[in-house]
Amino acid sequence: MINAIIADDEPAVANIICYFIEKEKLPVTIVGTACNGKEALELLKHNKVNLVFLDIIMPFMDGFKVIENAPDNNYIIITAYDSFEYAQRALRLGAKDILLKPIEYKQLLQSITRAVGWKFTDNDTLNDILEYINLYYAEKIDLQKLSSEFFVSPSHVSRLFKKFMGTTTVEYIHEVRIKQAIHMLNEGKYSIKEVAEITGYDSLNNFYKKFKTHTGTTPALYIQMHK
């Protein structure tokens, strides 16, 4: 699990990040929020974190000063200013990525991945397996495939998922696929059949079944509800 703090003087920013984390069940725990740079430094002193969402323009101390005073952290800069100068300075100080406001889910996920990789758990083998699934979810993946790919037994893979993820390997794969399907349906560029194929389902019936299990509705009704 990734422990993170959010430092931004706009409460709406923390709200939207927390909303995406909760809605998408991302493996991120927000251990504290700050509305200025000084509060951010205090949180960093008293909490062990893997990730910091950091605004640049804040009262008392800006984001650049925070990084300079606590450089040994993974920072994602949050800013409303699409400024090359800001970006260059932030990256030079060691920031892992930059998020432009308003924050979108896809950008958030990409930034977290760039900043900390797929370190979802305390188990390196499982982290590697999770990364593999999230990258190759559209391919045919099963326990035997994963055990061969990572040189562990199928039963060991199953135990890792049960212990750290609280689910089965197969259900996690479907969860990743359906999340991707939802984003594709929201984009409106593909038909339901195309989405099913792109996300790894060779049977439209199976896609409908798994979609309803994870969302409580069918793909067709989901599209109507979110138009």
Q: What is the DSSP secondary-structure string of 99-113?
A: EESSP-HHHHHHHHH
166 and 126 assigned to the same domain: yes
Percent of the chain surpassing pLDDT 90: 49
The total number of structural domains that make up the chain: 2
Can you give the CATH number for the domain in which 35 is found? 3.40.50.2300
What integer pLDDT is reported at residue 206 of this predicted model? 94
- Read off the pLDDT of each residue in 170-174 and give the average, rounded to a whole number: 93
Residues 109 and 123 in one domain: no
Percent of the chain with pLDDT over 70: 98
Residues 8 and 112 in one domain: yes
The verdict on 107 and 164 lying in the same domain is no
What's the CA gap between 99 and 53, in Å, rounded? 9
Residues 138-168 pLDDT 10s: 999 999 999 999 999 999 999 999 988 888 9
Residues 28, 10 share a domain: yes
Structural domain of residue 19, as residue ranges?
2-116
Regarding whether 135 and 32 lie in a shared domain, the answer is no
Where are the strands (E) in 8-90, listed by range?
Answer: 28-34, 51-55, 75-79
Find how far residue 46's CA is from the centre of its chain: 25
pLDDT tens for each residue of 58-91: 888 888 999 999 888 899 998 877 666 777 788 8
Instruction: Answer yes or no: do 60 and 132 share one domain.
Output: no
Minimum mean pLDDT range among 27-36, 82-91, 172-181 = 82-91
CATH number of the structural domain spanning residue 191: 1.10.10.60
What's the rounded mean pLDDT across residues 207-221? 92
- pTM here is 0.68
95 with 129, same domain: the answer is no
What average pLDDT score do residues 48-64 get? 89
